[in-house]
Chain A
Amino acid sequence: MSKTIYMDNNATTMVAPEVFEEMRPYFCELYGNPSSMHSFGGQVGQVVEEARLRVARLINAEPEEIIFTSCGTESDSTAIFSALQSKPEKRHVVISRVEHPAVKNLCENLDNLTGHKHKVTQLPVDEEGMLDMEQYRESLSDDTAVVSMMWANNETGVLFPIAEMAAIARERGILFHTDAVQAVGKIPIDVKKLAMDFLSISGHKLHAPKGTGVLYVRKGTPFAPFLIGGHQEQGRRGGTENVTSIIGLGKACVLAGHYMQKENSTVRLLRDKLEQGLLATIPNAMRNGHKTERLPNTANISFEYVEGEAILLHLDRFGICASSGSACTSGSLEPSHVLRAMGVPFTAAHGSIRFSLSVYNTEDEVDYVLEKLPPIIADLRQMSPFWEDRAKIAGGGSCGSCSCQK
């Protein structure tokens, strides 16, 4: 395997070379602690503040509204726990059925974690992955403490109407958090024009290193820290800062701003070429997720009657990296909760493949995938007992006693 064709950028991204260069001096030379009184450490503190400013600029926030965390997951937990603590009399949380586990698993375990009984509404989505706004409005009650909705779905790239949703929540006096881990750096975001209280970012999704994240907290929103310790981050997040990664994230945000146009033109065109090419050449293939209300870099395609892990391992032989929502790859025995929530039939859910591109992908790479994938699907289908019989089972695929339903 000589070359790697990396099309799994929603899982993680390459650290941009410019980002790495920016970080380099802060490992072995300028390794001081930003909290120290001496200027050796103090100078690092200034660079951290510069990084904060850079992150703030990408989403048009104020630097005081930026809290550095260890990852997107920590940002999500911090926001939701903080909201619950600041509205202790309210015990209702609204999320969607397609949230990332960082939000979904957290909310499903709130009772155990907080020792209080909570009601969690998980709003359904339609077959394109979209929410019903009327249903959203109706789900809100006087007991609702916080709404947490992902901006862009990591599996399908589908975008929720966060501007409208946040405005509705604010009208009702309800705190609003958005997990924007997949959105930041891929679509323009201006928090000044929006009404959310919290917004989560993860460094490794936008060409910064793994293990760094950000929680945006709007000025004036009540806040309770999640990690309690020293006075770092103005007492809002204890723990010595991951200085090098924060500096890297600052640079990555500058680059993301710089590449925003390219992401939404060049990358989108590449994605469209890949998606349309696969749908045109491979029969019984379909797109998962709304066609336009979607990130520019993500294509999620189901190939009926074949299983995703098998497809991925064949792609792997050619150095092509992608991911799948099949049961075998989801770490459980059931296919992805996102595809199930969208009602994708089992014939298709097990054979779903997600390609997620970045500005580093090229047209040659897309052509290579377009060349390699169709024969892989054809071979696996030759081996599938359902392929020849597909007319009989079209659309569903239920089996006698088995009732693995949504």
Chain B
Amino acid sequence: MWEYTDKVKEHFLNPRNVGEIADADGVGEVGSLSCGDALKLSFKLGEDGRIADAKFKTFGCASAIAASSALTIMLIGRTLEEALEITNEDIAQFLGGLPKEKMHCSVLGREALEAAIADYRGVALPMAEGEVVCECFGVTDIEVKRAILENDLHTVEDVTNFTKAGGGCGKCHDRLKVLIYEAREEKAPQPIPMSGPKRMTTIQKIKKIEEVLEREIRPALKKDGGDIELIDVDGNFVIVSLRGSCSSCAKSQTTLKEYVEKKLREQVLDTLVVEEGK
């Protein structure tokens, strides 16, 4: 049972502005049947350049319907510029919050709005141009990065809750981790090397990584007849090579991610990504 606020329930049971505007100025359609939620938003501008009417049709769960209803109410009376300032967080807040697993419903609303305005202006959507990261739900890297920045997301689970990316087969999880790192890195003010303990030069990083490998990781692997070698550190990518029994072990990937990467993140830098180089 999802915990919905009274406002979500109210908008789900009595949705406002359901339908389609016959002579709409802009129409945006996002989502799909197979993905489990979809939203078609249409709006009409008034003489004064403000949105005079907005209507929606939604296929989806209670929160998708409520988010659509909320969006139309927020839109009416705004200019297009003002409308574009609405974030998914605003939609969620209007409803008194959404369960975190349902945040993607608010993202869907914002995307439909952008699609409708792009349709009115006759321009292509920037989102569609990215590279698809999550095959299961057709989510692009641009969408993922944007959600990360706008909502201050830290984990793959967060990204899934907001964009659905990674919620199917799970194959893209590593790619999502890299995107989280990249997005957060790009956002960070340009590094002034001395600012705080979490900014390290590559040399510092290598030294710390070697230390942890030597002190903890290598002895543990050696117990099982394996070994590990550091090959390179490139930004946050730590390239290692597994040796001995580890190299032929079917679980070496798990060892790398679950153990080596975890340890290094704990003790060196929590943005490190460990990869195997041969």
CA distance A350 to B36 in the complex (A): 6
CA distance A388 to B34 in the complex (A): 17
B35 at the interface (CB under 8 A from A): yes
Q: Which B residues lie within 8 Å of A111 (CB)?
A: 251
Q: Taking A333-B167, A383-B57 as contacts, is the C-beta distance between A402 and B35 under 8 angstroms?
A: yes
Q: Taking A333-B137, A382-B18, A383-B15 as contacts, is the C-beta distance between A305 and B36 under 8 angstroms?
A: no
User: Contact between B57 and A384 (Cβ–Cβ < 8 Å)?
Assistant: yes
Task: Tell me which of B12, B33, B164, B251 contacts A313 (CB under 8 A).
Answer: B12
Question: Which residue of chain A has the shortest Cβ distance to B60 in the bound complex?
Answer: A307
CA distance A313 to B57 in the complex (A): 18
Q: Taking A332-B167, A399-B138, A403-B136 as contacts, is the C-beta distance between A384 and B58 under 8 angstroms?
A: yes
Considering only residues 58-100 of chain A, those with a C-beta below 8 Å from chain B are none
Q: Which B residues lie within 8 Å of A401 (CB)?
A: 132, 138, 140
Considering only residues 291-310 of chain A, those with a C-beta below 8 Å from chain B are 305-310
User: Contact between A334 and B168 (Cβ–Cβ < 8 Å)?
Assistant: yes
CA distance A309 to B64 in the complex (A): 11
User: Contact between B59 and A385 (Cβ–Cβ < 8 Å)?
Assistant: yes
Q: Which B residues lie within 8 Å of A391 (CB)?
A: none
B90 at the interface (CB under 8 A from A): no
Q: Which B residues lie within 8 Å of A399 (CB)?
A: 31-35, 138
Q: Which B residues lie within 8 Å of A28 (CB)?
A: none
B232 at the interface (CB under 8 A from A): no
User: Contact between A326 and B136 (Cβ–Cβ < 8 Å)?
Assistant: no
CA distance A310 to B2 in the complex (A): 12
Q: Taking A307-B59, A333-B167, A397-B33 as contacts, is the C-beta distance between A386 and B137 under 8 angstroms?
A: no
User: Contact between A328 and B61 (Cβ–Cβ < 8 Å)?
Assistant: yes
Minimum Cβ distance to chain B for residue A125 (Å) = 20
A117 at the interface (CB under 8 A from B): yes
Interface stretch (choices B37-45, B172-180, B211-219)? B37-45
Q: Taking A305-B59, A310-B12, A313-B62 as contacts, is the C-beta distance between A404 and B33 under 8 angstroms?
A: no
A317 at the interface (CB under 8 A from B): yes
B88 at the interface (CB under 8 A from A): no
CA distance A156 to B44 in the complex (A): 46
B29 at the interface (CB under 8 A from A): yes
Task: Tell me which of A309, A398, A404 contacts B137 (CB under 8 A).
Answer: A404
B160 at the interface (CB under 8 A from A): yes
CA distance A326 to B38 in the complex (A): 14
Q: Which B residues lie within 8 Å of A397 (CB)?
A: 32-34
Question: Which residue of chain B has the shortest Cβ distance to A331 in the bound complex?
Answer: B101
Q: Which A residues lie within 8 Å of B221 (CB)?
A: none
User: Contact between A334 and B61 (Cβ–Cβ < 8 Å)?
Assistant: no
Question: Which residue of chain B has the shortest Cβ distance to A348 in the bound complex?
Answer: B33
User: Contact between B138 and A402 (Cβ–Cβ < 8 Å)?
Assistant: yes
Q: Taking A317-B13, A385-B38 as contacts, is the C-beta distance between A402 and B137 under 8 angstroms?
A: yes
User: Contact between A327 and B136 (Cβ–Cβ < 8 Å)?
Assistant: no
* B-contact bits for A379-401, CB 8 A (1 contact / 0 none): 00011111000000100011111
Q: How large is the interface on A (under 10, 10 to 19, 20 to 34, 35 or more residues)?
A: 35 or more
User: Contact between B62 and A386 (Cβ–Cβ < 8 Å)?
Assistant: no
A347 at the interface (CB under 8 A from B): yes
User: Contact between B136 and A404 (Cβ–Cβ < 8 Å)?
Assistant: yes
Q: Which A residues lie within 8 Å of B144 (CB)?
A: none
Task: Tell me which of A117, A308, A347, A403 contacts B33 (CB under 8 A).
Answer: A347
Minimum Cβ distance to chain B for residue A22 (Å) = 31
* B-contact bits for A91-126, CB 8 A (1 contact / 0 none): 000000000000000000001000001000000000
Q: Which A residues lie within 8 Å of B33 (CB)?
A: 305, 346-347, 350, 386, 393, 397, 399
CA distance A401 to B128 in the complex (A): 10
Q: Which B residues lie within 8 Å of A383 (CB)?
A: 15, 18, 57-59, 65
A335 at the interface (CB under 8 A from B): yes
User: Contact between B57 and A333 (Cβ–Cβ < 8 Å)?
Assistant: no
CA distance A347 to B59 in the complex (A): 11
B194 at the interface (CB under 8 A from A): no
Task: Tell me which of A307, A314, A317 contacts B37 (CB under 8 A).
Answer: A307
Q: Which B residues lie within 8 Å of A326 (CB)?
A: 36, 61
Considering only residues 350-406 of chain A, those with a C-beta below 8 Å from chain B are 350, 382-386, 393, 397-404
* B-contact bits for A313-332, CB 8 A (1 contact / 0 none): 11001000000001110001
CA distance A397 to B38 in the complex (A): 12
Question: Which residue of chain A has the shortest Cβ distance to B33 in the bound complex?
Answer: A397
Minimum Cβ distance to chain B for residue A255 (Å) = 29
CA distance A151 to B132 in the complex (A): 41
15 A-B pairs (CB sep. < 8 Å): A111-B251, A117-B250, A307-B37, A308-B61, A310-B12, A314-B13, A334-B136, A334-B167, A350-B33, A383-B18, A402-B34, A404-B35, A404-B136, A404-B137, A404-B168
Given contacts A333-B164, A334-B167, A401-B138, 5 further A-B pairs with CB under 8 A are A310-B61, A333-B168, A346-B34, A399-B31, A399-B138
Q: Which 8 A-B pairs have the closest CB atoms?
A: A399-B32, A333-B167, A401-B138, A402-B138, A397-B33, A328-B61, A309-B61, A385-B40
